[in-house]
Amino acid sequence: MERTRNFLPLAGLLVCLVGFLSYFFVFYQFPVTRDLPWVSWLLFALGLGLVVIGVRRPFRQPERYRGRRLGPVLALLSLFVVGFFVFATTVASRQLPASAGAPKVGQQVPDFVLPDSAGRPVRLYDLLGAKAGGSGPASWVVLIFYRGYW
Amino acid sequence: MAVSVDPPAVTQKHLTKTGWTYTFLADPEAKVVRLYDLQHDVGGGKIISRPAELLIDPTGTVRWVDLTDDFRVRTRPETVLGVFDRLAGGAR
């Protein structure tokens, strides 16, 4: 009997790749799918499930399915994709400096002047107002530092 | 108000794309980022800011701060607004 091609390990690897790439190109933009990468985890579970079935098939039914050598190779590649994702989102993204000297609750923040996106200089204490020794009405300020797009 | 090491032109492009209207400041040499001890050396001689959010009252005092321990996970707007309502008692 002619043996069939065993496409499941390749399909599993592709699903894992979609799970990996979609996080960085799509789901990273939305806090609900970025903070906890659950969409990628679901796709990895599906992809690895396909891989497991696909790797076992040619050994259990050698008369029906091919791919006893290629299956395990694709399985290893799938594991590598998933492993790299887990590393990137749990270990690598936590590599941050201690920032021991950053302003703490109750401390006075240092004043500064920086240009805005139109090049106009903006002084922090002028935004806070008279109580901080700046010009203008008293106001609270949410100061956000972000990584930027460089 | 937001600070990053992006030059003004990069930020202007981003604001045009998103339509955001609040103030974005450019700190390309990371001077203020260093002054606040938030610098993050990402290799290749590039210093950027770690993500950080500070709520500052009108006297210049920090009333709330979030230095995330995972740069994928940032403060959400409703969190800061909730803290502000609690601390400022509806002065918004």
Q: Which of A145, A149, A150 to mutate to test the interface with B (most CBs of B within 10 A)?
A: A145
B 19-38 → A contacts, CB under 8 A: 23-27, 31-33, 35-38
Contact A125, A113 (CB under 8 A): no
Q: Tell me if A108 and B80 make a contact (CB, 8 A cut-off).
A: no
Q: Are strands B2-4 and A141-145 parallel, antiparallel or unpaired?
A: parallel
Task: Please tell me which residue of chain B has the smallest CA distance to A136.
Answer: B58
How far from A68 is each of A1, A74, A88, B31, CA to CA, in Å?
Answer: 17, 11, 31, 59
Query: pLDDT tens digits for B31-77?
Result: 999 999 999 998 888 999 999 999 999 999 999 999 999 999 988 88
Query: pLDDT tens digits for B5-34?
Result: 999 889 988 888 888 888 999 999 999 999
Chain B residue numbers with beta carbons less than 8 Å from the beta carbon of A110 are 35-36
Nearest Cβ partner for A128 among B3, B60, B80: B60
Helix, strand or coil, per DSSP, at residue B42? coil
pTM higher than the cut 0.90: no
Distance CA A96, CA A74 (A): 34
- pLDDT, residue B20, reads 87
